[in-house]
Structure 1
Amino acid sequence: MNILYGVQGTGQGHISRARAMAQALAAWPVDVTWLFSGRPREALFDMELFGDFVYRRGLTFSTSAGKLRYMSTTFNNNVPRFLQDARQLDLDAFDLIVCDYEPVVARAAAKARRDVIGIGHQYAFGPTTPRAGTSWLQETIMSRFAPVTTPIGLHWHPYADNVLPPILDLPPLALEQGEHMLVYLPFEDQKAVTKVLQQFPGWKFVQYSPALQNEQQGNVSLRKADVTGFKQHLATCSGVICNSGFELISECLQWRKPVLTKPLDGQMEQHSNALALSQLGYATTIASLDALALAQWLAQPKVTANIQFPDVAAGLARWLAAGANTPPEDLSRQLWGARALNLIPAPRPGAPLGVVA
């Protein structure tokens, strides 16, 4: 069986999910062609697992200083090139087409009238999923950016019958509660983040970003993004400070790492994630990273989740290798199992837990 698997590369979380899926699919007699888009090819790193992958420019979102920038997003995308890439993508050789919010594959499949399976966090946003920071424009973008015929969402709670637990890309590392806090805020001004962290000389921070170079600045260890080093620091940290993307926080929940999270300003998905985390009691959310908010979090008992997610990548790989012939609802029931009934509390109404005002 030949599978085309498109992955949106703007955020590292999509690629982390793809790593887990690549390893799981390797156990089955399938040939997978990976297509990545959404960031410059030279900015993709640690991609050996995907072999001779296909690259397209695709579409992406522009950010600066912790905010989504709609004007620069409009001007930085090349829509005619995107349409041409989708039109020229040949799908005839593939038995299954899979998309993790990747627009070139999604549009090519729609034009060819081919079924496409969507596997990703964005496909979990049905009518019962928590939403915050939403607008007509953002709802329209989310629904039309990479539309699919069979949406399979990923989330921390079974908000709908097509929603699975997170796909995790976690190596078998020894877990410790070390002295350092891990900081990953790639959409923020990195110098501003470092200055906030340096106001707490009694704490050690390891700050990762693709924009940084390896160096020590007082109590802050700056690290250029790399998968191996990041996962090692994640396994041994005492807590994580991050934006409200889905994948990293899912890994923190699995490894029981306390999380302080700031959603990307103007990004509905991240604001909605922050709301869900607050309702579930899984993390502490803040509107902006400043010394007061960080001091409050460092001084208080840390919120952690008592949950272990199943091996979703293995379940999805088995389902895809069998031709994806059974309803996603069956897969959802199998993977959540008792967790949907016993281990994951339903969202609570009223004031959310774990919020720094």
Structure 2
Amino acid sequence: MQTSRSHLWPGVPLALGAAILFGASAPFSKLLLGRIDPWLLAGILYIGAGIGLAAVHFGRHIIKLPQVEAPLQKTDLPWLAAVVAIGGGLGPLLLMFGLSLTSAASGSLLLNLEGLATMGIAWLVFKENVDRRLLLGAGAILAGAVMLTWNGQKFQFDWGGVLIAGACLAWGIDNNLTRKLSAADPVQIAMIKGLVAGTVNLAFAFSFGAGLPLASYIAAGAVVGFLGVGVSLVMFMLGLRHLGTARTGAYFSLAPFIGAALAIGLLGETMSAQFAVAGLLMALGLWLHLAERHDHEHRHEALEHDHAHVHDEHHKHAHSGPVIEPHTHFHRHEPMCHKHPHYPDLHHRHSHG
């Protein structure tokens, strides 16, 4: 029987890992812009993610690795369709048209709305617990992201801005709907999303006259997409499983700072006072989140589901023989009442008075 671990593990490292990989993809993508049409690059990034994850998904079956994650079920398909359509189709489409109608400064600032939309929907629509410390931390991270992307130009909220705000809303909805799938295999979900979103973006890019770049640039974009979009998305979904949507989205909002920090080394950009202040604000937000301790007596109602798990305090069922952990199978949770630090994960989505 496995002993109880810190409530920060493994959710926080997974969410931060997702932010690091996604943030790192920005400066590497910037190196490819000018050599690859922006819309075509978006398609290559997503296709690279989808193909790379397909290799992982089918490769583990070929070499007969143990099945650790729960496969998608028929009941997951409506949620998967919504996630692919809203997050993989509508979001990028609104972003591309929005960027074509507004300034780069306004576009960069408005993209920070995704984290706010994710947390707001989780809190107001899905009733996820959000306390004062989390709100302050998220506010500090958002303020740091706004400062980081502000270049002193006049902010314009035109039709392009409306479309970009719509894209952020779409991704906020996408992040919250993805929580409904967080018990299932994240590689399988991210693979489908990457292949569909990549195909859509490639089709639009070619329909607007984009030409094929050199094979070396395509390969580089695919690798960046596999790590910065595909692996990042897998880690984000695993973070959702352990932290809930609001907290995972808040940690993920650190991605712009990661990208800016790498750009200093990769692109020779200079360290500025603006960057330093943004870093301090984000560090404050990160500390507030890490110091959060949600601990109260709570009741678990009877629950039956299937997901990857180990035998911990929430999984005390018996097996008729030896098992390898983690493992997946349909299992039942009996009602229980106890007290320990926790986040709104798969087993702690109870209401608060």
| Higher fraction of strand | 1
Q: Please give the TM-score of this superposition, normalised by the length of structure 1.
A: 0.25
| Higher fraction of helix | 2
Q: Please give the TM-score of this superposition, normalised by the length of structure 2.
A: 0.25
- Determine which structure has greater relative contact order: mean sequence separation of CA pairs < 8 Å that are 6+ residues apart, divided by chain length: 2
